[in-house]
Amino acid sequence: MIERQSRILDCVGCAVRPSSMMLRLRLLAIVWLTTLATLAIGGRQLNAAQERSAAATTEQQDLSALTQLVDASFAGRPTSEVPLTWAGNHFIRSQGDSVYVPFTIAVDRGQLPATATQVYIRAVARSGAPAPAPKFAWETLQAIEMPADGHFSRAIALTPGTYDVFVAVKEKGVASGKLGLVRHELSVPSFAGSELSTSSIILARSLEQLPSAPSPDKQQDNPYVFGPLKVTPSTDREFSKTGDLQVLFWIYGASQTAGKPDVQVDYSFLQQLPDGEKYFNRTNPQELNVKTLPPEFNLTMGHQLLSSLSVSLASFPPGNYRLEIKVTDKPSGKSLTNSVNFAVSAS
C-alpha cells in the first residue's frame, strides 16, 4: 500500500516563442507529505499472508504454478508459453534509502487472450550466495484485469543494488492456464545523501490532475499516480506532431535556505540528423525558488521538488530528438545534465 498526500500547483511559467514554434513551459510543484515506505513492507509480507488465506483454493493453485515457473527460470530452466516484454521502468526516491520503481510489462494478448489474470512479482538481490527462500527483496501476487493492449503497470520498492526481477502471468483460476514470464536485471540507484541528483526522467503521453488521490487499496492498480497527479508514461517514446511532449522528474540534494531551494532547470532540444546532432530549440530557464514555489513548500519537511515541462510538438519536424536537461543548484554552483531521446512522427 502507498499512503501519501500531494498538492499540485499550477505554474508560474512562460511561453517561449522562437521564430518557428512555441514551447509551452509548465511548472508543477508536488508537496509529497508522506512516503512510499509502506509499499515495500506490504510487498514483503503479502505472499505469506496469501499462502495462509488461500490454501486449497484456486488462488493457491495459481500461486503454486507461478512460483514454480519463476523457480525454474531462476535455475536456468525457463518454460514460458506467453511472450512478455519489460517495456520500461523509472526510479523515484522514497523514504530513507528505499527507491520506488514503477514499471510496465507488455503481454502478447494473442497468446494470453484471458482478461482475468494473476500477476506474480519477485525481486532477488544479486549478492554472492543466494538468500534462503522466502527472503526475497520483493514478492507479491496480484489479480488484474488485463488491458486490451496487453500493457499493464505495477510498482515495487527496493534498496539500492542489482536485482533479478521476475514477472509471471497466468490465466486466473484456470488449472491448465497458459503461463508467461519475463526476467529483467534492474540496477537501482542510490538517492541518499546530499549530492545533487534526479529521479528518472519520465516522458509522458499525458499528465492529468485527478479530483483526489486514490485510496491506499487502489494504489497498486495506479503505480503512476502520485497523489492526485495521474501520469501516463510513454513506453516507446514516440509522439505525434499533433500532441504534446510531457516531461517530469524530481530533484534531490538541492541546497536550501529556510527550507526553500534555489534551482534553475534548462531544457534544450537537439535534432538528430544523418550528418550529426543539431541544436533545435530551448525553453526559457525554469526557476524553482521562494518566488515560484508555494509558501508551505519546505525541503526540511520532506517535500519533494518536481520539475515538469509541457511542449507542443506541432512545429517539430518528424524525426529523432534528444532532450538535454541541465539542473543547476545556484547556492552551491553544482549542476548536472541528463538526456533522454524521443521521436516525433508525422501523425
Q: Is 14's pLDDT higher than 50?
A: no
Domain boundary among 167, 188, 209: 188
Cα dihedral value 269, 335, 197, 153, nearest 10: -10
β-pair partners for 312: 244
Cell numbers placing 240 = 505525434
Domain boundary among 134, 154, 188: 188
Span 150-187, pLDDT tens digits: 999 999 999 999 999 999 999 998 888 889 999 999 99
Span 266-305, pLDDT tens digits: 999 999 999 999 999 999 999 999 999 988 899 988 888 9
In which region does residue 132 sit, left (phi positive, over 0), alpha (psi from -120 to 50) or beta (all else)?
A: beta
* pLDDT (0 to 100) of residue 7: 24
Q: Is 250's pLDDT higher than 50?
A: yes
Domain boundary among 140, 158, 188: 188
Quick one: 20 and 51 in the same domain? no
Give how many domains the chain has, as a whole number: 2
| Span 48-76, average pLDDT | 75
Q: How far is CA 88 from CA 45, 122, 199, in A?
A: 26, 17, 14
Quick one: 166 and 205 in the same domain? no
Max intra-chain CA distance, the chain: 69
Q: Is 125's pLDDT higher than 80?
A: yes
d(CA 115, CA 90): 26
d(CA 315, CA 309): 16
Lowest-confidence region among 220-224, 250-254, 259-263, 285-289:
220-224
Sequence-separated (6 or more) residues with CB below 8 Å from residue 45: none
> Where is pLDDT greater, at 232 or 226?
232
The answer to whether residues 277 and 271 touch, using CB atoms and an 8 Å cutoff, is yes
Lowest-confidence region among 34-43, 87-96, 121-130, 200-209:
34-43
Tell whether 196 is covered by a domain. no
Cell numbers placing 152 = 499493464
Strands, DSSP E only, in 172-291? 179-188, 197-198, 202-209, 225-226, 229-233, 238-240, 244-252, 263-273, 276-282, 286-288
Tell whether 318 is covered by a domain. yes
Tell whether 194 is covered by a domain. no
- Which residue range(s) make up the domain with 315? 8-34+201-345
Lowest-confidence region among 1-15, 65-79, 267-281:
1-15
User: CATH code at 149?
Assistant: 2.60.40.150
Provide the 8-state DSSP code for 315: T
Tell whether 111 is covered by a domain. yes
